[in-house]
Structure formats: structure tokens, C-alpha cells
């Protein structure tokens, strides 16, 4: 397929290139960052379709997670004003999955002061079965030769308080022996259908200090107490580092059975966090926005040189 399609925005900085596809849910379809030797290194498992199926989207790239990430149990959201029924997702039935923003077309424009390296994508979401609150969202992306900086914001445009959460869903290039390094304090065990149940302390053998390969096979881990920093080996030996701001204290690690990509999802809250909060659980990371208020988070993906071989 062509590297870019009509309607895409392409950012370039040195050998780095990011292809943005606003019509496909505000996605970053592909990302290459510049290695110390000057060559371009693919970072993402690429997203290829020209458009997006809002229910069964293709895997790849980076898409925004809002107005929440992951699942809401039974598609029923407990709020102080009563229970709200949402549209369940067919692949997570009877639960919801990842909000609606990544299934909608966004509006995009290059930055007038730096059109080659910066762009903004914006969304206005009307109340619907997937989310009965009106909201606006904005992404700002800035490309450097070795890094992509992302900002994601949501604003409550409704007349009622709105639950809200933010995050990103990157699909990274991956090979099974890749080491990952991160610091977190808490693991949220899950049910068979990927709902968090409670929080417990992360045991030393479950952590990634020092960096080590993920356990073999399929995995889906929900972590919190994350300090926002992560590093992971890429297939070519380079290291990709992630740095999120303090509001992004939760992290999802997901690898499918075939291991062809790794999802490292920096998010503000745990799966089904709103309902867990309503049950009295602490540390869910959930937010409630009054009308007109916003929530904003940032993330940087940076390519680093391959570490020297140990003697």
C-alpha cells in the first residue's frame, strides 16, 4: 500500500516520518524515528486501511482512547445521578470497549508555524448510544528526528458532569525476546473477559526492574502506580522509550497469541474504573469533569541507540 493516502497528513523531521489519518479515528498510522546512524527505524506495527470500521477496527498504529479506555462492565455505567446504559461492543459483549472517539472522523490541520513537523487533530462528539455526553477532543502531535510528542485533551461540552478517561493504544513492532523495563506498584487481576476486579501489590517476580522479556505467550496485564517511564527493545536492537505525565499512572500490556505486535497502553484509569470507584475501590484513576472542564495528558515516544553488547 502507499505510505500515505489522500486525506492523510505526513510529518517529517530529518529521517523521521509520521503518517496521520484523521478520517480513521485520529490515528497515527505509521511512525519511523531516526536512529543515531541516521537511518529511519519503524516503531509501530502499521495501520493499513484507508478508513476504519468503528466496531471491528484493524490493528496497528496508535489511536486515542477517549472518553475512556478499555471496558465498562455490562455496558452499564454507575454515576451519582443513576445508572447509564451504553451500547455494548460486539467483540466484548456484553461490555463496552475503548470509547467511541477512535471510530469517528477527526478534523486535522498542520501547525501554521511548523507545518512539516506539527499538526492538530480535533473532534466534536455529539451524544449517542455509545456515550450520552457531548464532548470535544484535541490531539497535538510534534515530530522530532528521534521522538514523537503527543498531547491529548478532552473537554466536557455537556450540561452535566461527565466521567472521563484518556490514553493511547500503540501497537509496537515486537519480537518475543524483547526486554521491557518499567516501574509500577500495583497489579489488577482480571476476569476471563478482561474486567479488573481489585488491586494488589505487584510482586518482585512480576515486575520489570531490571528490564526483562515478557512472559511467553498471550498476556494482558493491568498495572497502576506506574511512574510514567517505560523502555522496550525493538526488533532491530534499538530501544524505544515512553514518557507519560503524572496523570497517566496506569498501563496496559497486551500481546496477542501470535505475538506479532505488542500493545503498551498508557492510560489514566483501570478497566471498568468508574464502576470500581462506585463500589468504593481506591486508585482507579477515574476523573469526573464538570461542564466546560477539561482533562489533558502528554506522552513522548523516543528512539534510543541499541545498548552496547555486554562482554
Integer Cα distance of 88 and 85 in angstroms? 9
Comparing CA positions, the residue from 251, 269, 243, 236 lying closest to residue 68 is 269
Indicate the pLDDT class of residue 90, thresholds 50, 70 and 90: very high
Beta bridge partners of 182: 208, 230
pTM for the model: 0.96
Integer Cα distance of 78 and 160 in angstroms? 14
- Per-residue pLDDT tens digits for 183-209: 999 999 999 999 999 999 999 999 999
Annotate 58-96 with b (16+ C-beta within 10 A) or e (fewer): eebbbbbbbbbbbbbbbbebbeeeeebebebbeebeebb
Indicate the pLDDT class of residue 32, thresholds 50, 70 and 90: very high
Indicate the pLDDT class of residue 278, thresholds 50, 70 and 90: very high
Indicate the pLDDT class of residue 307, thresholds 50, 70 and 90: confident
Residue 309: the pLDDT is: 59
Residue 1: the pLDDT is: 42
Q: Taking the mean position of all CA atoms in its chain, how far away is CA 167?
A: 4
Residue 297 confidence (pLDDT) above 60: yes
9-304 CATH fold: Beta-galactosidase; Chain A, domain 5 (2.70.98)
Region 100-105: what's the mean pLDDT?
97
Q: Between 54 and 127, where is the model more confident?
A: 127
pLDDT averaged over the chain?
A: 95
Residue 33 confidence (pLDDT) above 90: yes
Amino acid at each position: 500500500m502507499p505510505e500515505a493516502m489522500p486525506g492523510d497528513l505526513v510529518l517529517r523531521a530529518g529521517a523521521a516520518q509520521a503518517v496521520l489519518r484523521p478520517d480513521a479515528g485520529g490515528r497515527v498510522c505509521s511512525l519511523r524515528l531516526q536512529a543515531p546512524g541516521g537511518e529511519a527505524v519503524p516503531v509501530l506495527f502499521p495501520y493499513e486501511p484507508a478508513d476504519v470500521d468503528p466496531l471491528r477496527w484493524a490493528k496497528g498504529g496508535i489511536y486515542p482512547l477517549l472518553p475512556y479506555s478499555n471496558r465498562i462492565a455490562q455496558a452499564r455505567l454507575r454515576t451519582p445521578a443513576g445508572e447509564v446504559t451504553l451500547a455494548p461492543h460486539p467483540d466484548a459483549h456484553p461490555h463496552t470497549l475503548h470509547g467511541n472517539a477512535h471510530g469517528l472522523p477527526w478534523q486535522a490541520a498542520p501547525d501554521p508555524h511548523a507545518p512539516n513537523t506539527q499538526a492538530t487533530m480535533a473532534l466534536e462528539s455529539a451524544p449517542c448510544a455509545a456515550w450520552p455526553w457531548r464532548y470535544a477532543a484535541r490531539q497535538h502531535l510534534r515530530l522530532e528526528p528521534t521522538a514523537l510528542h503527543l498531547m491529548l485533551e478532552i473537554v466536557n461540552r455537556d450540561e452535566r458532569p461527565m466521567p472521563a478517561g484518556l490514553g493511547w493504544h500503540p501497537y509496537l513492532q515486537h519480537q518475543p525476546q524483547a526486554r521491557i523495563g518499567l516501574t509500577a506498584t500495583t497489579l489488577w487481576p482480571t476476569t476471563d473477559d478482561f474486567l479488573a476486579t481489585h488491586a494488589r501489590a505487584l510482586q518482585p517476580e512480576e515486575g520489570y526492574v531490571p528490564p526483562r522479556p515478557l512472559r511467553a505467550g498471550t498476556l494482558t496485564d493491568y498495572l497502576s502506580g506506574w511512574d510514567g517511564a517505560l523502555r522496550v527493545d525493538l526488533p532491530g536492537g534499538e530501544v524505544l522509550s515512553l514518557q507519560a505525565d503524572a496523570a497517566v499512572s496506569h498501563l496496559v500490556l497486551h500481546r496477542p497469541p501470535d505475538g506479532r505486535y505488542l500493545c503498551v497502553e498508557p492510560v489514566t484509569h483501570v478497566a471498568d474504573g468508574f464502576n470500581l470507584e462506585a463500589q468504593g475501590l481506591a486508585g482507579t484513576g477515574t476523573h469526573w469533569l464538570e461542564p466546560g472542564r477539561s482533562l489533558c495528558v502528554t506522552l513522548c515516544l523516543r528512539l534510543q541507540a541499541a545498548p552496547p553488547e555486554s562482554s
